[in-house]
Structure 1
Amino acid sequence: MRAVNLPLTSRTELPTAERIVVKVGSSSLTAPDGRLDLSAVHHLVQVLADRRAAGQQVVLVSSGAIAAGIMPLGLPGKPKDLATAQATASVGQGLLVARYTEAFAYHGRRVGQVLLTAEDLIRRTNYANAQRALERLLTLGVVPIVNENDTVATDEIRFGDNDRLAALVSHLVRADALVLLTDVDGLYDGPPSRPGTRLIREVRAGADLAGVEVTGRGSDIGTGGMITKLDAASIATGAGIPVVLTSAANIAPALAGEEVGTWFAATGRRKSARRLWLAHAAQVRGRLHLDAGAARAVTDGKRSLLAAGVVGVDGDFEAGDVVELVGPDGVVARGLTAYGAAEIPHIMGKSSHQFVDDFDQHPRAVVHRDDLAQVRPRRRR
């Protein structure tokens, strides 16, 4: 496993990063008529190839498969139904990777396609396999091109946008920084088209986002908007990975450490793969409702959840499944439950003494602290 350096403290240190993840959205790779914009692809590849030549390892998380398949199939626009979207992605993914392969080959670089589904990060075995595969590609000098596997992904289980995928991949490969490329030059405190809005140069704490207006709608081709970028930045920075958010046109000065776009400083420490999986990738099977004291114990106190603090249960789950822990003010954590949904009503609210009296055995923690991951509340869409 690769050793990780201390988190970068400013954007000027970005050129010294050993490993970076760059995410580019569909809107940055397509022309107004919906075709893949080859000049945009070649500009991006030129910059990334230069960074690779300078000694940086680069992982590219690239949208664009569906966009690349629209014109060859003669479709009027982005597919509305799942089956057509999957078919379009199947056609477009090959075209997209072919363009990347050709562009990187011009600079003497090889690429490897890595298609992931949410299932690959939900299941621990798949997660470890993906981690090993990406690590090996990087040590072989290959530039991994990562995308969600839209051909087999379903509405029920998918990342939903490549911003979140990029944040999870950044942790997966233990990157030093994440660069999110979009069609605006950074985070503004309101709609960029509105007169008087201000570009936010740095975000070092949640308070820096107070009063910021963002929308959840992305481009007609893409799936994300600025909210998905902020969610991704929150995931990455909370795991000790700083983020730069800027336009694809600014990729060269951004990677050179110049003051373009918005810098999101790392706010948390590096998490174990297990805790990040629990917090952001694991499939949730149910909910446990906690009283205020229990909610404080598992968050501020970082303690295990005991039966005495559980006041309600939702869902159909078994022991060992992932559940959300919900306090009076909302979701506070996720964790692996030691009891199934059918068992919880019989033990919830019982103190340790009551548990021993009623069941003649000492209680297990409902969710042990080693199996807990705190969850930050997401911005409303």
Structure 2
Amino acid sequence: MSATRGLIGEARRVVVKVGSSSLTSLAGGLDPARLHRLVDALAARRAAGSQVVLVSSGAIAAGLAPLGLAKRPRDLATQQAAASVGQLLLAHAYSASFLRHDQRIGQVLLTADDMIRRSHYKNAQRTLERLLGLDVLPVVNENDTVATDEIRVGDNDRLGALVAHIVGADALVLLSDVDGLYDGDPRKPGSTLITEVDSPEDLQAVTVAKPGQGSLGRGGMATKITAAAMASASGIPVLLAAADDVADALDPAGPKVGTAFRSSGRRMSARLFWMKHAADVHGRLDLDAGAVAAVVERRRSLLAPGIHGVEGDFVSGDVVDLVGPGGVVVARGVVNYDSAELPAIIGRRSADLPRAHRREIVHADDLVPL
């Protein structure tokens, strides 16, 4: 057993994400057998001493059959109507299933605002922490009833990675209808299961198949790789496995299935993680090569002389992208000036500026390299 799988098995706090296709079918809505199998495995992990947070898709898919819809609707209003019906069915089904194990659950519906706005992010963190402290298993989903394409988190794989960091999880388990990551399309002969991902370089030869048009969910393998990369780069080991193998995936002795992603970075603060992966970006600052070296390599504050361009409409306290000479975003940070103030001071030495404008444009403590 690898060290990564050992860490996942020993994790005291685990976030588990399950997709729509692992819980539902187009013909019959929620699949009770699949849902009970998931709940039994989560309850067993709880009984073994771990705290568990479930990030569950399935609200829209669960609402299709009751509304007589043959497939996932494309228009937003019908998606939201299906989510409204399906979310109640999903919550009731989870509550009844967990009741077999005398486990209380709490529903937490999040929107992109809860990820984008720092105050909302902290509030979600406090709520989830308190639920776990009260021995309640949180069931988290994006609030599809009110979410729109412009204001949604994007997919529940990414939401799972964000929640894992919010609650300070020791491991993230992504459950899918595929039994792991393959070096090609798993539906084609010759594709091989990748059991361990130790670094981003291990993914360079991977070809990811797009989800089928009949898919019940929004995510595909690409979103799972992105979510795994987000979490692992922030110090959280990840397991990608089939939902049908959930008992083996959550085995405290160490998972024996799927693809394990080694944590490849240090755990960063909630503030920096929010800034890197969830904050709403309001503009950009164009940096010269010297400023890029100072910000990225030496982790220094960004000063006016290293900036030669400003784009966007932002105010002090907003998050902006820092862009290098090649047009690549190299960092992100909280800016200390309004966009209207900057044209008069960028490119100038601090000694040539009025005293009120000599502070950092972006302080080192408010910067995260990308």
Query: Where on the TM-score scale, by shorter chain, does this alignment land: which range?
Result: over 0.9
Q: CA–CA distance in 2 between the matches of 1:190 and 1:346? A: 53
Give 1:250's aligned residue.
245
Determine whether 1:42 maps to 2:36: yes
- Paired residue for 1:291, among 258, 268, 288? 288
Partners of 2:369 and 2:210 lie apart in 1 by 24
Render the CA deviation track for 1:187-217: whole Å, top value 9, x for unaligned.
Answer: 1111111221121111111111112111454
Q: Which residue of 2 aligns with 1:378?
A: none
Q: Which residue of 2 aligns with 1:240?
A: 235
Deviation, 1:65, is: 0.1
The answer to whether the Cα contact below 8 Å between 2:275 and 2:319 also exists between their aligned partners in 1 is yes
Q: Using the alignment, how far apart are the partners of 2:236 and 2:325 within structure 1? A: 30
Q: Cα offset for 1:124?
A: 2.1
Q: TM-score, normalised by structure 2?
A: 0.95
- Looking at structure 1, the residues matched to 205 and 307 of structure 2 have their Cα atoms a distance apart, in angstroms, of 35
2:264 is aligned to 267
After TM superposition, the structure 1 = structure 2 runs for residues 261-340 of structure 1, keeping only pairs within 5 Å, are 261-329=258-326, 330-340=328-338
SS of match in other structure, 2:239: strand
Q: Distance between the aligned counterparts of 1:322 and 1:13, measured in 2?
A: 34
Q: CA RMSD in A?
A: 1.6
> Shift in Å at residue 120 of structure 1?
1.0
Q: Separation in 2 of the partners of 1:294 and 1:144?
A: 44
Where does structure 2 lack aligned partners over 5 or more consecutive residues? none
- Partner Cα distance (2:142, 2:159) in 1: 8
How far is the alpha carbon of 1:121 from its aligned partner?
Answer: 1.9
Match of 2:341 in 1: 343
Q: Whole-Å Cα distance in 2 between the matches of residues 258 and 211 of structure 1?
A: 25
Distance 1:56 1:123, change over 3 A: same
Give the ranges of 4+ consecutive aligned residues of structure 1 lying more than 6 Å apart after TM superposition. Answer: none
Q: Shift of the alpha carbon at 1:271?
A: 1.0
Partner residue of 1:95?
89
State the Cα distance separating 1:34 from its structure 2 match. Answer: 5.6
In structure 2, the residue matched to 1:115 is 109
Query: Which of 169-178 and 78-87 deviates more?
Result: 78-87
CA contact (8 A) 1:21 1:170 kept: yes
Contact 1:34 1:77 in 2 (8 A): no
Which residue among 139, 147, 156 is the counterpart of 2:141? 147
Q: Compare 235-244 and 207-216 and name the one that shifted more.
A: 207-216
Tell me the SS of whatever aligns to 1:156: helix
SS at match of 2:38: helix
Conserved 8 A contact 2:26-2:71? no
Q: 1:56 maps to which residue?
A: 50
* Residue aligned with 2:24, SS: coil
Cα contact 2:63–2:87 (8 A) shared by 1: yes
Letter in 2 for 1:168: L
Question: Residue 70 of structure 2 aligns with which residue?
Answer: 76
Give, in whole Å, the separation in 2 of the partners of 1:362 and 1:347: 8
Which stretch shows the higher mean deviation, 66-75 or 191-200?
Answer: 191-200
Matched, 1:129 2:110: no
Q: Could you tell me how far 1:360 is from its partner in structure 2?
A: 5.7
Q: Distance in 2 between matches of 1:370 and 1:37?
A: 48
Aligned-partner SS, 1:86: helix
Taking a change above 3 Å as real, the CA distance of residues 215 and 297 of structure 1, as seen in their structure-2 partners, is farther
Identity %: 60
